[in-house]
Amino acid sequence: MKKLLFLAGSLLLACMWAASCSDTETYADLVDDEKKAISKWIKNSPYVDFGHITAKDEDWVDWTADSVLTDSLHPSQIGIELGKWYRITEGDFKRLFFCIRSFGNDGLDSLRENGIEPTREQYRTAMRNKKKFYAGRNVLVRYDSLFLLTGFDYDDLDENTKADNLDPNSFLICYNWNRSYYASSYYSYYYSTGSGYECTSGGIGFPIRFLWEGGQASIICPFSLAESTYASYYYTLYYGEITYTKPTYLPQ
């Protein structure tokens, strides 16, 4: 169960790094350090090719939310491409990077695989199916890998701690993912088989607006979107492959 938390090695590394920061280090300094860590990750990551990253601002975030959640436009109709990385430059999700790996069960895969553009009615059908997914209150989140970018050792990959939450006896739930949820605070809760829970990176809920049941995404989450414990150590996190589904059970 403990592997579902940030493992002791990562925590120790983060604490050592945080302790090394000067008492006079400003928030701007910390943001600058984070930008350097993310740039290094993008340039040297052994796990993913980031390719071209497109910058988007707060107005774009609001527009996509309105287009997908209110106007029922398929994400591909408003320019969201599978496998492409996007960076948010302003607003509540500033410094968040995300990539949609799969839209999930939108019913258009067979067309997409054959290079056929769906008809307007097929898009409408897909969006009606999407509402059956995002109109719910809770989303089950699974991720196959979680890395701490600060202090990541590119020369000896075995020295880095990799975490996941694939244990079937534990689960991570995103709550209240409606229109206002996307516009304000983002929290996900980790529940063990016991009674405790732990908040994790708020940015993990951001991609849901673009997804259907079984959709997948990757993110780089800045410390500004982390829960208070993580934020106090200025964690910058990379989630490899996140899968979003309906939960079959809920915490009590």
pLDDT given for residue 8 in this prediction: 39
Share of the chain above pLDDT 70, in %: 73
pLDDT given for residue 16 in this prediction: 41
User: What is d(CA 190, CA 232) in angstroms, rounded to the nearest whole number?
Assistant: 18
- Enter the pTM of the model: 0.83
What is the DSSP track for 64-79?
HHIIIIIS---GGGGT
In order of start, what are the domains of the chain with their CATH numbers? 2-245 (3.10.50.40)
Q: HSE (CB half, 13 Å, CA atoms) of 218?
A: 19
**Mind listing the pLDDT tens digit for each residue in 190-219?**
444 443 444 455 688 889 889 999 999 999
Name the residue type at position 240: G
Using the structure block, give the residue that is written with the tokens 């701007």: 28
Q: How confident is the model at residue 76 (pLDDT cuts 50, 70, 90)?
A: very high
**Mind listing the pLDDT tens digit for each residue in 118-145?**
999 999 999 988 877 776 667 888 899 9
Q: What is the 3-state secondary structure (H, E, C) of 141-172?
A: EEECCEEECCCCCCCCHHHCCCECCCCCCCEE
Q: For the purposes of burial, counting CB atoms within 10 Å of the CB of 153, is it exposed (0-12), middle (13-18) or buried (19 or more)?
A: exposed
> With the C-alpha atoms ordered 160, 92, 129, 168, is the resulting torsion angle positive or negative?
positive
User: What is d(CA 231, CA 18) in angstroms, rounded to the nearest whole number?
Assistant: 11
